Amino acid sequence: MSEVQSVPKNLNSPNLSKEAVLEDFRIAMISRHASLVGRKEVFMGKAKFGIFGDGKELAQVALARAFQLGDFRSGYYRDQTFMFAIGELTVQQYFAQLYAYTNVTAEPASAGRLMNGHFATRSLNEDGSWKDLTKKYNSAADISPTAAQMPKLLGLAYASKLYRENKGLKDLSTFSVNGNEVAWGTIGNASTSEGMFYESINAAGVLQVPMVVSVWDDGYGISVPNEYHTTKGSISEVLAGFERSDAQKGIEIIRVKGWDYEALLNAFASAGELARTSHVPVLIHVLELTQPQGHSTSGSHERYKDSKRLQWEKEWDCIAKFREYILSNKIANADALDKIETEAKALVKQEKEAAWSAFSNEIKKELNEAVVLLKAAAHHSTRKVLINQLADELSKTINPIRKDVMVAVRKALLTLRLDSPAAKADLKAWYEKQNDLNFDRYNSHLYSQTEWSALKVEEVPAQFNDNSPLVDGREILQSYFDLTLEKDPRFFTFGEDVGKIGDVNQAFAGLQSKHGELRVSDTGIRECTIIGQGIGTALRGLRPLAEIQYLDYLLYGIQMLSDDVACLNYRTKGGQKAPLIVRTRGHRLEGVWHSGSPMGMILSTLRGMIVCVPRDMTQAAGMYNALLKSDEPAIVIECLNGYRLKEQMPLNLGEYTVALGKPEVLREGTEVTLVTYGSMCRIVMEAASELAEIGINIEVIDVQTLLPFDVYGIVGKSIKKTNRVIFADEDVPGAGTAFMMQQVLERQEIFKFLDSEPQTITAQAHRPAYSSDGDYFSKPSVEDVIEKVYALMHEVDPKKYPAI
């Protein structure tokens, strides 16, 4: 472990010229005053919340000097100085985010969808195509959960390894220059207590990737000091066992003081060079940082720091020490530094006012339009006094937001309900137009809106003939993956047991030896960073297939999927995409673990991802093919008991696609529509055959994808014919079936066509019991389906269908 101390350099060198030093001082002062002013704006009520990077300025300007074009950052919400220093954040943009300005040009990181301190660069052009990432500084879109930036950081660094070592990727010159790009991560000292941090560090050491992690250590995690967070109170000491040696690979560990300018420059320069040239991961533990304004605007740090600590922080503030350094080295005199600070303060004020003016004027314009329309409506209304009162109150609102405007207009429209349509026509038209605008501002881009949307992938049916051989289902997947690995160098897969043995169900059997370890890779047991590895590589233009061995193991990676990839397109308003495909398996199996179908959890947490639930492997291969033609993230949940079942090998394997969002009618019927998916399709189809023998003809529909759900209205059309519906799956009651029912009842408007109460068939509320009997009594059986359908028909015609 090396501890970097100040080593005086020639001030005429590129990294430490007088001009460079004073520019770093200027950036630091701008950032500090942005923090101070930002806090005041929150307390004045002009923003909801603020969290700032004061106290970390000096380390971040040093980091910026080591950061190169093509590099990626995956950090956290105190990195404003760094973003200022690399020119990817202006002061006006900084305040636009604080105010939640929804203009994507004014606030390009998130279009006002995230609180301040969440930084991102736009990797995509307006049409969703990739920019040349090698010619720009890149920041992966930030997320708030502590340490959640780390798994993605691993993936960003792993992409460089693939670009350097996989010769098939050499033509992708807009994504990498021979894998020279470094992935730079930043994290607070307290967040290093999270398991995601340790898992990512361990994986980086195993994979040997160009990842540099900076730990900003100010001694606290909100109010809790380091001794409660970390053994020995020092993350670098804890990680000493990971440190590389002459005999063993590992990580490089550097310790440096956060107020020591020259040492910081040396530390970041050497870490960047080592990672860039040799792909060695590095941890830089930046010690003795301060946090002058405390954690955030939610409270004062004086509540938990004693007077001695507060005095130390004042004396050892990195900007105060930087000023001392400049003066002692005669780089500039006090008057020159005072002038820089004065100009920085004035710039922050000017840009803050410009941001506020742009933000507030747009809303005031809408408010004024609404006031005019309200008064015009009042003139023609029988409730003139009330409408004018709404208009007057709205016009007097201090620092109005859009909510104020829309509340007044909606109240007015309710008040006008008894007046003639003409009295409210203009107000209602304006309101409807604003609804469209506000949908775009606050609700758009949950899914791709580009030409590569999954919904736009053309359906190509699988083709068969009389000579199509019957094979195990897993052989169809194996052949499909083999073809895809051959034709698309961007495609690769990794996960537990995927490599040498070809996954536990043999869909990749023999493919590692054929295509190499970089294309079909084993990983450790680390689902969280398997997902992160996929996210980071997808952010850099690759097409990863990340395997989670069993569906219940998805719990280890669900936060990364939910908080990062599922909402990435939304929270950047189309600025970044990570078309990761997660492959896993579940449904019919015996026992508490590996056998559940937690679709309710997936549907609630993964909005923004495509959720595919194929009933067999032919269908799964068509879904994978469709997904690889799209630019959207997805999860494909294969049927655990389907790998050895016989299926016909398609003639056009690798060419056919399944239409995502389009259910398939497996069996036509006239009396009941039964909607299901996955392994339940076989159960339901067997039940349908038995029911037909007693004169009950049910229509069976496989939804194929739960997200998106039936964008063609196929289920609704069936119900209009049968007038009855049952939703069936293997999830717990009130989960997947409740979702399907809500989608059909509300979005397809079929309630008026129902002659019977809609029904559900589900597994028991507990996890499945072990053994074949446990499976039978825990999950829906053929007999359960028959009895449920029969009971429904008994209610319809008791004479024809007497009680069992």
Q: Which residues are catalytic?
A: 594
Alpha helices for 245-333 (secondary structure H): 261-278, 307-315, 318-328
Residue type, 537: T
Q: Which helix (H) or strand (E) holds 429?
A: helix 421-442
Buried b (16+ CB within 10 A) or exposed e, 261-276: bbbbbbbbebbbebbb
Q: Are 691 and 790 within 8 A, CB to CB?
A: yes
Centre a 10 Å sphere on the Cβ of residue 728 and count the other Cβ atoms it contains.
Answer: 27
Beta strands 646-648 and 634-639, pairing class: unpaired
Residues 11-15: contacts with CB within 8 Å, 24+ apart? 11/329, 11/331, 15/65, 15/265, 15/269
**CA distances (Å), 459 to each of 488, 582, 622, 627, 657, in order?**
20, 21, 9, 12, 5
**Cα–Cα nearest to 451, from 624, 291, 582, 631:** 631
- Please state whether beta strands 705-707 and 610-612 pair in parallel, antiparallel, or not at all (unpaired): antiparallel
Q: What is the token pair recorded at 115?
A: 């609180």
CB proximity list for 96: less than 8 A, separation 6 or greater? 103, 106, 107, 112, 355, 358, 359
Q: How many CA atoms lie within 13 A of 54 on its CB side?
A: 25
Which contacts (CB < 8 Å, 24+ apart) does range 786-790 have? 786/687, 786/690, 786/691, 788/726, 788/759, 788/761, 789/672, 789/674, 789/687, 789/691, 789/696, 789/698, 789/726, 790/691, 790/694, 790/696
- Please classify residue 246 by burial: count the beta carbons closer than 10 Å to its beta carbon, then call 0-12 exposed, 13-18 middle and 19+ buried: exposed
Kindly state the helix (H) or strand (E) to which residue 430 belongs, with its residue range. Answer: helix 421-442
Among 374, 417, 401, residue whose Cα is nearest residue 102: 401
B/e letters for 507-541, b = 16+ CB within 10 Å, e = fewer, are bbbebbeebbebbbbebeebbbbbbbbbbbbbbbb
- Spacing of C-alpha 261 from chain mean position: 35
**d(C-alpha 432, C-alpha 764), whole Å:** 45
d(CA 772, CA 401): 60
Alpha carbons 607 and 629: distance in angstroms, whole number: 20
Closest CA to 29 of 320, 242, 325: 320
Cis peptide before 579 (omega within 30 of 0): no
> Cα separation of 166 and 458, whole Å?
31
Q: Are 656 and 709 in contact (CB under 8 A)?
A: no
Lookup: tokens for 201: 């560090």
